[in-house]
Amino acid sequence: QVQLVESGGGLVQAGGSLRLSCAASGRTSIRYTMGWFRQAPGKEREFVAAISWSGSTTYYADSAKGRFTISRDNAKNTVYLQMSSLKPEDTSVYYCAARVDSISSSYYVTSFWNYWGQGTQVTVSS
C-alpha cells in the first residue's frame, strides 16, 4: 500500500548533525503512524523514534532523547529524523517504518510495523 525511501545519511564527525528523510509513495492518503529504527551489522534492529499521524504524540528511545527529533510533513508525505550531538555508537543503517493503525504502546516492537524502507547508512567518526 505504501513504499518508503530513506535519504540523508552519510559520514559525519562526532558532535555533528544530520537530518534523515523518509518519502512515502502509494496510498499516502492513509493516516500512517511513522517511525525510525536502526541496525548495525551483527546486531538486532532497535527502535529510535515514532510519531503519530497528527504529530501530537512522539516517542523516543532513551539513547535518542535530547539529541534526536522526529517530525513529519503530511502535505509532502515525508517524515524526518533530525539528529544532533551524534556519537560513534549511533553508526547504523537507519530504517523508516509505517503502520496503518494508530500508534500504541507497542511502537518499540519491530512486528508492530507494516512497511519498511531500504535504509540509509549513517556513520559517525570519532
Q: If phi over 0 gives left and psi between -120 and 50 gives alpha, with beta otherwise, what is residue 97?
A: beta
pLDDT tens-digit readout, 65-123: 999 999 999 999 999 999 999 999 999 999 999 999 877 888 899 999 999 999 999 99
End-to-end CA gap in the chain: 40
pLDDT tens-digit readout, 39-73: 999 999 999 999 999 999 999 999 999 999 999 99
Q: Are 112 and 106 in contact (CB under 8 A)?
A: yes
Look at residue 28 in the predicted model and tell me its pLDDT: 80
Look at residue 119 in the predicted model and tell me its pLDDT: 98
Look at residue 122 in the predicted model and tell me its pLDDT: 98
Q: Give dist(CA 107, CA 120) in Å, integer.
A: 21
Q: Give dist(CA 52, CA 31) in Å, integer.
A: 9
Contacts of 43 (CB under 8 A, 6+ apart): none
Q: Give dist(CA 102, CA 104) in Å, integer.
A: 6
Look at residue 27 in the predicted model and tell me its pLDDT: 85
96 CB neighbour count, 10 Å cutoff: 28
Look at residue 103 in the predicted model and tell me its pLDDT: 77
8 CB neighbour count, 10 Å cutoff: 16
Look at residue 67 in the predicted model and tell me its pLDDT: 98
Check whether 32 has a pLDDT greater than 80. yes
Which comes out higher in pLDDT, residue 13 or 106?
13
Check whether 16 has a pLDDT greater than 90. yes
Q: What is the Cα Rg of the chain in Å?
A: 13
